[in-house]
Structure formats: C-alpha cells, structure tokens
Amino acid sequence: MQRKPLPAGADTNVRAYSIFFSYLLLCFSLTVFIARKLLKSYSLLSKSTTARTPPRKHVQYFVLLAISSLGTTWYYMFRYFQTSYRIWLMWRSIYELTPDQTHWGLWLKETSLFKEAWEIAIIGAGRYWWTLQIFFFACGLGLNLEQKGVRRGIKHTWAFMLLGQVVAISFATNLFLLAVLLSPPPPPPPSSTGIYRRKWLGPWLVNLLTVVATVLPAYYLGTEDYWHTPEFMTVLLVPHAALLILPFARALLPAKYFTDDKVEFSEDIYTYLWGMTIVGGVLLGLKTTVATYNFNGLQGIWHALFEHPAVSSVGFDVIFCWITWTVWWKTQAQDSANVLDDERENKEGEWVGAGSGIAALGGSEVRRR
C-alpha cells in the first residue's frame, strides 16, 4: 500500500479525542453515580431500627466481585486498545508513520473501536461461544431490573443497564445486586379480590419485545450471513437499544404508565419470559458448541478466550456473570434458611411465653381457691 506523508496538524483531531474521552467519562460518571446511591442506601439501612440488614459478608462478596470483574474486563479492554493501535500503526494507517511517536488522534479517527471489537469477539464459532452468552446475561439483567429493582423502589435502573453496556454486564450486575441487598424488601402484593380487569399493555409487554429483540439478533449474529456485511452493526445495535427502552422510559415518564394491576398475572408472564431467555440461550449455546467442536474440537473454546484481548474482555465478563449469579443464588438460599430459623425461634419463644403466662394464671387461680 502506497502511504502518504503525514500532513501538518493531522494528529490534532479534536472530534476523535472528544468521542473517546467522553466515553471514558460516561463510564466513570455512571460508576460514581451508582456508588453514591449504594453508599446512601447503606447509610439509611444501617440507621433503620425496623429493616433487616443483610449479612455483612454477603455485601463484601459482591463488592469484591464488582471490583474483580471491573479490573479483569478492563485490563483486557486496555490491552485491546494497545493491540488496535499497534495493528493500525503497522498495517492500516494511510500515512507514513514511525513507532517512536504516538498518533492517537489519527488512530481514533481512522478506527471504529466499537465495531472492530464486536467483530473480533463475534466472528468465529469459538469466539462467539463466549460472546453469545453476554447477550442473554444482559437480557437477564433487564428482567431482574424489573422484577427485583422496581419492586424494591430502585428508580435508577437505567443506570445499571447503561453501565452494563458501556463497561461490563458483570460489573453492573454486581452493583445492582448490592442495591437489592441494601434496599428494603418490597411490600406485600395487594389483594386480588374484587373486580379485576386484566391490563394487556403493561411493562411486561415491553419486556417481551425486548427479549425477542435480544434473542433473535443473537441468533442472527451467530451465522455467517451477517459477518462482514453492512447489516452487521444494525443487527448488533438492536439488542443494545431494546434493553434501554424500558429503564429510560421509567426514568422519563410518569409512574402511572407503568403499573401492573395484578402481581400474579405479572409473575406468570415473567416465568414465560425467563423461559424464553434461558431456552434460547441453551439452544444457541449448543448450536455454537457443535460448530466449534466440528471446526477445532472443544479445546477451541478455551483457546478462543485468549486469542485476542477483545475476546478476553467479553469472555471474562461472561465468567464473572456466572460466578456472580452462583454466589447470589447460594447467599439467597442461605439467607432464606436463616430467616426461617429466626421465625421458628420467634414462634417457639411466643409459645414459651404464652405457656408461662398460662401457668402463672393457673397458679394464681389455685392460690385464690
């Protein structure tokens, strides 16, 4: 390739710098915003005399997982930036450049980092074995934002979903689960007695469309029909946009537009939504596993994790998602068992107290006789 001499002022590309550093600022701002909310919730919960505080070690688990997931995924993200710059400098730049000088402005101007990273992480069965899972973990986070977050009064669900998309889904998931732990439990559902008219245009319908808009593109991206085509970015952006619709709608529109008249009906719908998400993920995972095995054996999955920093960043995001949800399920099961033990002890104490009262009354009656 015939390269051109570097023109004067070519490195001073304000627009490219502005976009890149605005992205980093958004990541930092969202993290600080959520961290401040968590600290405020922790302070209020620790001062409350009625709310039951979560075990300290459970909070520590998710703080540690949040830090670990952020550090691991972004270690590989910065390595991806370095790799992208080196490849651009050696092969892609249209100018005659020397390695002894940095040309970040030109690199950012001539490189679409978002598109490049996703193409690297998706194209190839072994690589997509890791990447496909992040679509379904993102979808699961969206469902949990509605089922757990909204019902516990967490109003900034949009921040968690946006943070997951610009930083890491595992990082956002750990922070969200911390918010759930530090928020009061939801009030008991209202009685469903009386006249009830089913509401077919509720938030669940938006979530249904979101699940469809996430699962279908995940299947499309797993086929070679969309690789290296102009439609690739369109298909990729559909789930990104769909997952943000309901959280941002809740933040911008009055609450009266997002009421479910019957909790039982809503829970039934979410059971089907979870089924669609899990079954869709399992089927696509099996399909991709078979494709990887036919091409390079099962070892190709592990090798793909370290083929490129962009794949490693997404892959470790997936790994931390699995770790996070496993820890969550175990801690919640343990917490439920502790609650049952406490209730059983309270009931036993009430019976002992009642028995003592009866005995005391009986003794007084005997003395009076």
* pLDDT tens-digit map of 321-366: 999 999 999 999 887 665 554 545 554 444 445 444 544 445 444 3
In a domain, 227, yes or no: yes
In a domain, 234, yes or no: yes
* Close Cβ partners of 159 (under 8 Å, ≥ 6 residues apart): 30, 33, 34, 37
Q: Provide the number of structural domains found in the chain.
A: 1
What residue type is 63 in one-letter code? V
Instruction: Give the pLDDT of residue 207.
Output: 93
Model confidence at 6, pLDDT cuts 50, 70, 90, reads low
Each residue of 108-118: b (16+ CB within 10 Å) or e?
beebebeeebb
Model confidence at 122, pLDDT cuts 50, 70, 90, reads very high
Model confidence at 186, pLDDT cuts 50, 70, 90, reads low
Model confidence at 52, pLDDT cuts 50, 70, 90, reads confident
Instruction: Give the pLDDT of residue 354.
Output: 46
In a domain, 355, yes or no: no
Q: How far is CA 137 from CA 60, 63, 72, 287, in A?
A: 22, 19, 18, 18
Q: What is the mean pLDDT of residues 56-66?
A: 96
* Close Cβ partners of 230 (under 8 Å, ≥ 6 residues apart): none
The percent of residues above 90 in pLDDT, for the chain, comes to 61
Paired strand residues for 95: 4
In a domain, 359, yes or no: no
> What single-letter DSSP state applies at residue 98?
-
Helix ranges restricted to H, 149-262: 157-166, 169-181, 203-221, 231-252
Distance CA 48, CA 57 (A): 19
DSSP, collapsed to helix, strand or coil, labels residue 308 as coil
In a domain, 9, yes or no: no
Contact of 215 with 137, CB cutoff 8 Å: no
Q: Of the candidates 247, 10, 232, 227, which has an alpha carbon nearest to the alpha carbon of residue 110?
A: 10
pLDDT at 40 > cutoff 70: yes
Sign, Cα dihedral of 16, 120, 212, 164: negative
What residue type is 274 in one-letter code? W
The percent of residues above 70 in pLDDT, for the chain, comes to 79
pLDDT digits (tens, 9 = 90+) for 7-22: 555 556 788 889 999 9
**Residue-range definition of the domain harbouring residue 313:** 19-94+121-187+198-333
pLDDT at 197 > cutoff 70: no
In a domain, 112, yes or no: no
- 122: its two tokens: 């998706």
pLDDT at 265 > cutoff 90: no
Distance CA 53, CA 105 (A): 50
Mean pLDDT of the chain: 85
DSSP, collapsed to helix, strand or coil, labels residue 142 as helix
Cβ atoms within 10 A of the Cβ of 60, count?
A: 10
Instruction: Give the pLDDT of residue 5.
Output: 60
Distance CA 6, CA 140 (A): 48
In a domain, 360, yes or no: no
Q: What is the mean pLDDT of residues 36-57?
A: 87
